[in-house]
Structure 1
Amino acid sequence: MVTVNEAKQRIIANTLTLPAVRIPVAEAVGSYLSEDVISPIALPPFRQSSMDGYAILHSDVTGSGTSLRLAGESKAGQAELPVVGAGMAVRIFTGAPVPEGATAVVMQENTTSADGSVQIREFPVVEGKNIRREGQQIARGAVALRAGTLISPGAVGFLKGMNVNEVAVHSKPRVGLLVTGDELLKAGEALEPGKIYESNSAMLQAALAQAGIIEVSISYASDDLDATITALGALLEEYDVVLASGGISVGDYDFVGTALEALGAETIFYKVRQKPGKPLLFGRMGEKLIFALPGNPASSLVCYYEYVLPALRKIMGSEEPFLRSVRLPLRHAYRFDGERDEFLKARVEGDEVVSLDGQESFVIGSFAVANAIIYLPVEQNRVEAGELVEVHLLPL
């Protein structure tokens, strides 16, 4: 049995990053850059107004009510512009280029226009006011996004605004998921005595989709050694990462560990000193990763967030693969006994964290409203209200 930290270290040490591919920016959401992106242009590419108003020479305004002569306009997309000289003002709109000579833009709410002139009610007018400088967002040739950055919708907008239409990202892993258990019913089947509806596959597939991994295959195997060997073997031939749900404990009908051994997989560790999720197995077959997850849904999801997701992120090129960790005060006191670290389903509310009801490994309902996991090592098994605890923030 390994500790939580030992398990995480072994997983990262045995996980390789997939090669890079070039793909359209619009298809890159959820991927990690494999190289820096250099801006081919400045943003904005010209001096740009941030307001509707009037472009002027700021030094012309000597007091509230200064009158300036109107000398044309500048609208978004306009190429030919008037030049602003002393005593002149040019009508300008948000996003439009600032004419040569202008040193400030006065917003229209602070002006009155009539008979070919405009009165400026603002005083003093500061040089550069309401003007976006050329390259204010990013200069041409500067690093726009660094390797290892996760491509978000905001990143897509940023890149497209620079006319960057393709990026180099690490490939996403193909994931095969095996569900075991003769007690499991599929959706739509009639509920029978001794049976339960299978939910782990949909839960894990949703978690994978949230991580940007869409290529997921789901297989099922009965509680039989030969069937388990056949199903796992097929997945290991085709997929980069194989997840097995259930069948990894020590019961008479738990065959996943034996099946992996029969297939020649290397076990990196089996069992972690934690609650829930003790019977977690991590292994390899060549460069392919194997995670055998506990069948209880809360245990399975804890192990996914704490161990599987970091491995997937590293495969995709993330330089910070683990859940973001913060320290927050616990709202209510918490006690536990035993020799295993504990993970608690939790909610961050304001500047504190609340451990939720329903911490048992079979209870998934509390995960439905959780936005965090509290990690309590055995050395911190007596926590008082207001005491700081380690909190792992779940992906949004």
Structure 2
Amino acid sequence: MKARPHLAACLVAALGAVLPAQLRAEAPDFHLSGFATVGALVTDRSDVWAYRSGFNKPGRNRLDFGTDTLVGVQGSLRVGQASDFTVQAVSSETPHGDYDPRIAWAFWRYNVNAALTLRAGRLRAPFFMLSDSLNVNYAYPWVRPPQEVYGLNPFSEIDGADLLLRVPAGALELELKPYFGNGRIDLADDSRATLRDVRGINVALSGVHLSAHLSHGEGRLHVKWGDDGYRAVAAGLTQAGGALAGVPAQLAGDEGRARFSSAGLQWDDGRHLVIAEAVQRRVNRYVNSAQAWQLTVGQRSGSFTHFLTLARQRQDRPVARADIADPALAAGFAAFLASRNEAQRSVTVGTRWDFARNAAFKAQLSRARIDRDAWGSFFPGDPRQPPGGHRVHVLSLSLDVVF
């Protein structure tokens, strides 16, 4: 796996950039940690390739190591009694097919008191229940979180600030986290998406065995598609004229509005495990509106955890609608809409083996049924023939460690 520059050097350089010279000269209270995954998956079809939206480039081989393999290093430098700087660098396959490290976290934290904390910089976007541990695969039972849910919002970081207010509630603790900022991701084929002026709030309730999550965020959405399918469809619609000439403005641009809501619940008493989450995306253009849910039940037996996951994503509204008389243009438009529709349902059975301290081996088998007129979480070998309505079986293996 190629990673340029070295992750540790990237981390040190980032910390040096954010710290004042006077603080860099003092003896630091520095803590370094890391995590890594070596993962592989194989499908039972040769005409589709698995991918994670906004995460990696679709593999061209049935045996794919790029979907889940990653390594991350995190450093925290305490400054005084009330504040610290944290930087996290991650190397994983990008939509461009390389492994160049990126800065996933880079924030300053100030603890006003035991109940109130302010953070500013690059933060994890709290769109999901498991957002804070999104890259740390060791933290959850699956090889990867269910893509029906976690593929619905590929933005994982925002550059901005949040406020954490912790309030005791009997045996539980309530955490309120208002946040704002901007986010940007690269997509395959030189495409990119940007969230501007994101504002939202995350509410979490945690106890000994139970945790719950509610989140809602809104922002302005900018999308630039760079794939050949989009270019051909946009050119054809513009050339057709009339009402169709205005449709490309619904497919890409910088005038979109997006809303994202999620709710989750987790029960873990050390023997039994239940994880449930439901999410909803509402967008007025550029991407489709959809909803998704997942339910995982598991049981631990010694060092093994066996689990079953049911998941579903459903499209509520396509990217755009148009009445097209030309058969060739209509087919191209339908193919474009299918490529932006990840609707599917899946059943997954798996096992996690904690064979050593801070290390786990996982194996899971998924059976996905892709909705008609959708790609689901699979990239077809021939984009003109989307795998809608097909079943795909995926065997996934991973070795996860934290250090």
Larger Rg: 1
Q: Which has the higher contact order (CA 8 A, sep 6+)?
A: 1
TM-score by shorter chain over 0.5: no
TM-score (norm 1): 0.20
Structure number having the greater strand percentage: 2
Structure number having the greater helix percentage: 1
TM-score (norm 2): 0.20
